[in-house]
Amino acid sequence: MWAKVAEVVDRVEAELDVLVTAIEDRVVARVQATHGALSATLQEALRRALSATVRDVLARLRSQAELPQELPPDLIELARLCASSRCDLTELADAWLLGQEVFWDRFQVVAERTLADPAVCWDVVKAARVRLRGHAARISGLFRRACESEVARAAGIHGGRRLRAVSRALEGQWVDPGELGYDLAYHHIAAVADASQPLVALARRTERQVLLVEAPDGAVWGWLGGRTRISDSDLDALIAWQNSRDGLVAFGEPAAGIAGFAASHHQALEARTIAAATNHHAVRFADLRLLIALLRDGDLAKEFIERELGELDDPGERMRELRETLRAYLEHGQSVSATAAVRRRDRKTIERQLRSAEVLIHHRVSDRCDALLVALRISDILRHRT
């Protein structure tokens, strides 16, 4: 069987330029549809990277090698160019995921032309697909991490010097823009993320300057700066956009000058605590003021939970199940049908659990629905902290 696979691989490689051009056309069309034309330098690097990827695929089919553990040099160079040009790498990171459709179409055509027996042809294509299962996702993941690493390196976020300069600014000391790479006199929006790439993409989307630094805990602190204040509606739209993407980002409120630089940052840090506990991709401090105010006073938060939830906050699997159902019910318009869908339970089970919760809190859910939802969220956050 593998001799037949190698025979088809040889024929595909003989037409490599045609295949790479077809893959390039598919990828470039997707990128241009959302971000405009690529520079000549970037497009040439993309072609070399795609050619290297196809060669790697064909070599692995010949040798039956395992999935790659590192990127070919041409893909590393493409990652470097993406970072230096601040190109949105989303489509490029998935370039081979897009291109594999073209590859397998071509592989099928060549196999049918090379092998006379349709059954043998089918077996060859099937064997090749099984051998390369997971290859596209592996290449995409390696490339995405390489891009993030290059973005971080280019931004200097791993440098201790940058972190020390930011720390001085957070203490209220003026830092020269030449040293910081950012103007403290700007209007700022601070953000805290798990990685640098979401913040770079957000800066590009807002056309604002970006300052990034790796925090001691491994998070990435960022500031988006500009000469004018971003409006609340524009910030909400930005958060909605980030919520549809990967990566956790917590935002502070818009603020100006060196005092605003620190204030917005501290707000973002507080918002991040809640984002991590509630599985939101993007949160804004202003939307969480009540939760944050209660969480600042641990005793007050616990008293509030005890008053609103009572026995419902007790440990144990049954109480956890009731809390999750009640929270889903409150977060989905108090709809039993929606709650049943979210919780993957039948309606009767949801109704029974809601009645049990009402017995424990000593009133109907509808009587204090807002306070109950806040208490449930705070309870989850406190459990997440421990």
Token reading at 154 = 């280019």
248: pLDDT confidence band, cut at 50, 70 and 90? Answer: confident
Q: What gap in Å lies between CA 158 and CA 149, rounded to an integer?
A: 10
| 20 to 24, 38, 47, 54, 99: CA distances (angstroms) | 6, 17, 7, 8, 9
Note the pLDDT tens digit of each residue in 135-145. 888 888 888 77
Which position has the higher pLDDT, 334 or 140? 334
> If you classify domain 156-287 with CATH, what class do you get?
alpha beta
Length of the chain: 386
The amino acid that residue 293 corresponds to is: A
| 278 has pLDDT over 70 | no
Quick count: other Cβ atoms within 10 Å of Cβ 86? 15
State both tokens at 139: 């290449």
Task: Classify residue 216 by burial, with Cβ atoms within 10 Å: 0-12, 13-18, 19+.
Answer: exposed
Does position 64 have pLDDT exceeding 80, yes or no?
Answer: no
- Token pair 């490029």 is found at 92
Q: Is the pLDDT of residue 322 over 90?
A: yes
Classified as helix, coil or strand, 379 is helix
Q: What is the dihedral of CA 171, 174, 180, 186, to 10 degrees?
A: 100
Q: What would the pLDDT profile of 146-184 be if each residue is shown by its tens digit? A: 877 776 666 655 567 888 899 999 999 999 988 888 899
pLDDT at 255: 96
> How much is the pLDDT for 181?
83
Cα–Cα dist 210/223, whole Å: 6
Helix, strand, coil percentages (3-state) for the chain, rounded to 5, are 70, 5, 20
In this prediction, residue 138 carries a pLDDT of 87
Which of the listed CATH numbers 1.10.10.2840, 1.10.15.40, 3.30.1540.10, 2.60.120.380 matches domain 297-385? 1.10.10.2840
pLDDT-derived band at 328, boundaries 50, 70, 90: very high
Q: Which amino acid is at 247?
A: G
Q: Alpha carbon of 188 to those of 172, 235, 247, 254: distances in Å?
A: 15, 12, 21, 6
Instruction: Give 30-68 as a DSSP string.
Output: HHHHHH-PPPHHHHHHHHHHHHHHHHHHHHHHHHT----
CA distance 25 to 28: 5
**CB-CB contact of 163 with 114 (8 Å):** no
What's the confidence (pLDDT) of residue 206?
82
Mean pLDDT of 111-139: 89
Per-residue confidence band for 267, with pLDDT thresholds at 50, 70 and 90 = very high
The radius of gyration of the chain's CA atoms, rounded to the nearest angstrom, is 27
What is the pLDDT of the chain when averaged over all its residues? Answer: 86
Q: How many helices (H) and strands (E) does the chain have?
A: 19, 6
CB atoms within 10 A of CB 210: 22
Residue partners of 186: CB distance under 8 A and separation at least 6 = 209, 225, 226, 227, 256
Among the residue ranges 155-164, 192-201, 324-333, the one predicted with the least confidence is 155-164
* Lowest pLDDT segment from 28-32, 87-91, 127-131, 381-385: 87-91
Query: E strands along the chain, which residues?
Result: 187-193, 209-214, 220-226, 249-251, 255-256, 282-284
- Cβ count within 10 A of residue 135: 20
